[in-house]
Amino acid sequence: MEIPSRIRRTAAAIGLCAVLVAVPAVPAVAATEPAAPKTPQPPAVPTEQVVTTEQVMSHLRALQSIADRNGGNRAHGSKGFRQSLMYVKGVLDKAGFRTSLRPFTHNGALGYNLVADWPGGDPDHVVLVGAHLDSVEAGPGMSDNGSGSAAVLATAVAMSRAGVAPKRHLRFAWWGAEEQGLIGSEDYVRKLSAAQRRKIDVYLNFDMTGTRNVQQWLVVHDEPGATDTFEAYFAAKGLPTFDVGIGGSDHQSFGDAGIPVSGFSTGLGDCYHAACDRIDNVDPAIETISANAVLGVTRQLVAH
């Protein structure tokens, strides 16, 4: 998760991060006014586990190994990031996705977004699911955001394995240079035409999904169909949630462009933006719950 330096993001980012750091002490507050949904979504979702702990943690182990071989990080412009990108792309290609790399330049370094489309579904109604793949230079970024990247990747593989035939078009993305200021996702949104933006019914963002000692799942409260579905999923499992607004991660790039957003985080936790943000900083049980929430809600949203 990026803590932006640019003035136009500061208030939103600080507000979200304050919630992330101090969740147990936050009283219940009124949620921000949600945007009107493009299409109504039923909140009931299946709650059975489909992604196993081994499946999602295997992706985290691969990302940790890449960081270990490349100076301890997977930052924008680094060999570690490029190898992370090719690892994810290889898994998706094998699973039958149509993948594409979207290059951009920031601070003199070449960066990439990875976009993966699943065949079928109405191209005029897209559900886009994403996470940032880069780390800070200080560490390998296993919680921030190897965890979100792994949860989204495990979801994509599970959808492929199930041979899903979605009614809405299903697209996944892994963003570059989020830690530099949401650069990759902003580049992606900026290059969309107005017509292409209107085709995205909702963008779901996942930034830090396996935090140890998690108190609440922090659900981005914007697109009510997706938000209600996430909250119904967690409620069915007896897990507490807390509504947060838009800011501090890649969903802001979409929200600023008028695209409905949702998603969740499990909070900052320990070792935030530090060298100790290694794989043992991720709770496998929490990561498994999160991966199945991503899968369950995504599956529900593309089915209607």
* Segment 182-218, tens digit of pLDDT: 999 999 999 999 999 999 999 999 999 999 999 899 9
**Mean pLDDT across the chain:** 88
Distances from the Cα of 300 to the Cα of 41, 162, 249, 292, 295, angstroms = 8, 14, 24, 12, 9
pLDDT band at 44; cut points 50, 70, 90: low
**Is residue 16 over pLDDT 60?**
no
Q: Write down the pLDDT at residue 18.
A: 35
Active-site entry in 178, 179, 223, 287: 178
- At 294, which amino acid appears? V
% residues pLDDT > 70 (the chain): 84
Q: Write down the pLDDT at residue 257.
A: 98
Task: Note whether 287 and 59 are within 8 A (CB).
Answer: no
Give me the mean pLDDT over the 237-262 stretch: 96
Dist CA 7 CA 91 (whole Å):
38
pLDDT band at 39; cut points 50, 70, 90: very low
Mean pLDDT lowest among 56-65, 125-134, 221-230: 221-230
Tens of pLDDT along 154-169? 999 999 999 999 999 9
Give me the mean pLDDT over the 53-81 stretch: 99
Q: Write down the pLDDT at residue 21.
A: 37
DSSP letter assigned to residue 41:
-
Dist CA 133 CA 135 (whole Å):
7
The yes-or-no answer on residue 186 being catalytic is: no
Architecture category of domain 54-302 in CATH? 3-Layer(aba) Sandwich (3.40)
Angle separating helix axes 53-69 and 284-302, nearest 10 degrees: 110
Q: Write down the pLDDT at residue 247.
A: 87
Dist CA 278 CA 220 (whole Å):
26
